[in-house]
Each structure stands twice: as structure tokens, then as C-alpha cells.
Amino acid sequence: MKTILIDGLGLIGGSIALAIRKKWPDDRIVAVDVSPAVLEHAKRSGIIDEGSLQLNAVAADADVIVLSAPVGIIIDHIKTLAELSLKPEVIVTDVGSTKQEIVKHAQKLTEKKVIFIGGHPMAGWHKTTISAARADLFQSAYYFLIDDTLIDERHKAAARALQGLLSELDVKWLTVSASRHDRIVAQISHLPHILASGLVNMSQNEFQSSPLSLKLAAGGFKSITRIASSDPTMWTDILLSNRETLIDKINRFHQYLERVRQALAASDRESIRTFFEKAKVTRDNLNEQTGAHAPNFYDLFLDLPDRIGSLARVTRILENAKINLVNIHILEIREDVAGVLQLSFSNQEDRLLAKRELNRHGLPTIRGDQ
């Protein structure tokens, strides 16, 4: 029987606890969290065996320690652990959103012969703050293991042990260096967040002097800025722990913007066209590469005069015809109007079959031309 210590019982820590519980019911799970209520609830529902508000009160017994708090706290707790006396073969790991800073601080553990393995499961759930975790939260998601921390056979064996412990998560394991990890997430997650929040802040001035433009900010603006509603504290932490990479990314983005500005100043139609064309090719390609559907390609659109009734009719017709649906969405394109239903299919056959079935049941699709 091993003792697993989960430090931070949020969505990720909770999901990891559940996955371990399911696969290794004999292991003892101890959790540390700032909230007595969270610990009490987790204990009552059997997710953990014991809770503690203090890491140093329970760290000594642990065979595995999973640091699953925000990045700033992970770093603090690595420092704490480096001061404590731990089991000689304990494996310490983390789930932080950035890796270079954490790996740097974890050096203190390595110096004390404490095994540290850097990790990062990509759940894609940044936007939600749900506290109810699930054992299959990460199913088929990528879980990074950080190369820099797999320094010898002892560490590599520990990584394999960790993969065994977490096998119920059913993730895709990937090994990358801390710096490459941080560059990737800077590009696909951190920089987009900065751009979205910057755009919102800049728009605020316009909106303040003109309530009209606020009413007009529908569709594209709202979807591009949605991530600006994320938790400011968490994002401040993330940015500060990925400082140098982000400074470089911002500098490079300045250059991209500057090229557009120059093309505009010179009325250089060809450059602007190339700029948009390149982006379209890459973005369309992204859909194919990640297995998602090309935008609007296998989509059907139909009116939803009576939102809930029509929706139920549509899904019933598709169910009866056993047509597989990739996505369903109500387009919020206009105020005060019931909306347009967008149905996405993975191929043209399904799309045409669905169109025929819906039309046959008196539900006309909007895009009648194909």
C-alpha cells in the first residue's frame, strides 16, 4: 500500500485522485488544500482518505507527491518540500501550466536526491472552474513529461511508475523539453490570451464613449475575446512564469502587426492579400490536422423559431436516422431572435443524409444550394 499525496484539490488534482482511486483502490490518498470545505467534501465522498491544510504535516509519509496547485504555489511548495525530510524513494511531480521556472526550482529537490518529474496534462478546460472532478477528465488528452527531469535511469524508472499510477487517466504521453513546452504553450495559449485581453481593454475606451458600439459587439468580437473572461490571478501567475518566452513572442507579434501596418500605409494590396491568404491556408489546415471539420464545410443551418421544441425535433430525427453529429451549436447572431442552429457532420454523406431527413420532416435547411 502506497500513500499518494495530492497537493491542491482543484479540477486537476481531484481528477487525478479519482483516477488513482479507481485503478489502485488499495492506495491511501491524502490531500492538501487551502479549503477545509473542499477537503471535508472530498473525504466524505471517498475521493481521499485524509485531508490536511498543511503540506509539511503530511509530506513525510508520501510515496508520491502530486503538486496540482497553480504555478506560483507549486513553486512555493517545491521550496517547502526541499526543507522537509521525505521518504528516500518518494516521487514528486507537478501539473503546472509552465515548466521552465518549476524545473529550475525543482533543482533544489534533485540536489537532495529527491526525485522530481515535471508534468503537464493538457485538459483544455482552462475556462471552467468546475470543482467536480472526473477520473476520465483527461481521456485522450496529451500529458507532457519534461525531458529535463528524466536525468538518469532512476528518474526514468520513476516516470514509468508515475505512468502506471496514472494509467486510468488514459492520456497520450509526450516527452518534451521544458523550454520547448513553454514555447508551444506561449504560442497557442498565452499569447492569444494577451491579445484577447488587450483587444478588450482597448475596446473599452471606444465602448465607454459609445454605448452603441457595445451593442454591436456581437459574433466575431465576442468569440475572439471570450478567453479574456478567464481568472486574472491564474493568468498573472502563468505569464510571470513564462516571462522571457512571452517577451520574445510579443516582440515577434509586434513585427507581424507592423508589416500589416506598413502594407496598409503603402496601400499594398498584394501583401495584405497574401497575409490573409496564408492565414486562411494555415487555419483551414489546422482543422484538418486536428481532426476537426473544416468551417461550414459539412455544416447544415436551420432556423429555430421555437428554440427548445425545434431542437428536440431535430435531435430526434437525427437519432432515428442514426446520423452521427460532430457538433451542434446555436448561432447568436442577432438580438431577440430565436437563432439559427448549426449542425456539423464529419463527412458529406452524413450531411446530405441529415439534410434529406430534416427536409422530409418539414424542417428546411437554410443553405439550400448544396
Q: Across-strand partners of 30?
A: 5, 50
- Rg from Cα positions in the chain: 25
Tell me which residues in 90-149 interact with a copy of itself (CB under 8 A). 122-132, 134, 138-142
Q: Which stretch binds a copy of itself (CB under 8 A): 1-9, 73-81, 110-118, 320-328?
A: 320-328
Tell me which residues in 152-191 interact with a copy of itself (CB under 8 A). 174, 176, 180, 183-184, 187-189, 191
Cα distance between residue 262 and residue 272, in whole Å: 10
Cα distance between residue 162 and residue 173, in whole Å: 11
Tell me which residues in 193-232 interact with a copy of itself (CB under 8 A). 193-204, 206-207, 210-232
Cell of 304: 429555430
Smallest gap from Cβ 6 to a copy of itself, in A, equals 18
Is position 329 an interface residue for a copy of itself (rule: CB under 8 A)? yes
Q: Which stretch binds a copy of itself (CB under 8 A): 59-67, 100-108, 156-164, 330-338?
A: 330-338
Burial class (CB within 10 angstroms; exposed 0-12, middle 13-18, buried 19+) of 162: buried
Q: Decide: 180 and 153 in contact? Cβ < 8 Å.
A: no
Smallest gap from Cβ 172 to a copy of itself, in A, equals 8
Binding mask 264-283 for a copy of itself (x = CB under 8 A): xx-x-x--xx-xxxxxx-xx
Choice between 87 and 221, CB closer to a copy of itself: 221
Q: How many residues bind a copy of itself (CB under 8 A)?
A: 135
Region of residue 67 (phi > 0: left; psi between -120 and 50: alpha; otherwise: beta)? beta
Smallest gap from Cβ 314 to a copy of itself, in A, equals 8
Q: Which of 44, 85, 153, 322 binds a copy of itself (CB under 8 A)?
A: 322
Smallest gap from Cβ 88 to a copy of itself, in A, equals 35
Tell me which residues in 287-316 interact with a copy of itself (CB under 8 A). 287, 289-292, 295-296, 301, 307-309, 311-312, 314-316
Q: Which of 150, 325, 352, 353 binds a copy of itself (CB under 8 A)?
A: 325
Strands (E), the chain: 3-7, 28-32, 50-52, 64-67, 91-94, 115-117, 119-121, 142-146, 172-176, 299-303, 327-331, 340-344
Q: Decide: 108 and 82 in contact? Cβ < 8 Å.
A: yes
Q: Decide: 341 and 328 in contact? Cβ < 8 Å.
A: yes
Smallest gap from Cβ 136 to a copy of itself, in A, equals 8
Smallest gap from Cβ 343 to a copy of itself, in A, equals 11
Identify which of 219, 134, 192 has the alpha carbon closest to the alpha carbon of residue 168: 134
Binding mask 235-264 for a copy of itself (x = CB under 8 A): xx--xx--x--xx--xxxxx-xxx-xx--x
Choice between 56 and 129, CB closer to a copy of itself: 129
Q: Which stretch binds a copy of itself (CB under 8 A): 20-28, 55-63, 146-154, 322-330?
A: 322-330
- CA 43 to chain CA centroid, Å, is 27
Longest dimension (CA), the chain: 72
Q: Which of 167, 327, 347, 348 binds a copy of itself (CB under 8 A)?
A: 327
Cα distance between residue 91 and residue 159, in whole Å: 9
Choice between 151 and 286, CB closer to a copy of itself: 286
Q: Map residue 341 onto helix, strand or coil.
A: strand
Cα distance between residue 342 and residue 302, in whole Å: 7
Choice between 160 and 254, CB closer to a copy of itself: 254
Smallest gap from Cβ 115 to a copy of itself, in A, equals 26
Smallest gap from Cβ 287 to a copy of itself, in A, equals 8
Tell me which residues in 332-361 interact with a copy of itself (CB under 8 A). 332-337
Rounded alpha-carbon distances, angstroms, from residue 63 to 93, 182, 349 = 11, 28, 53
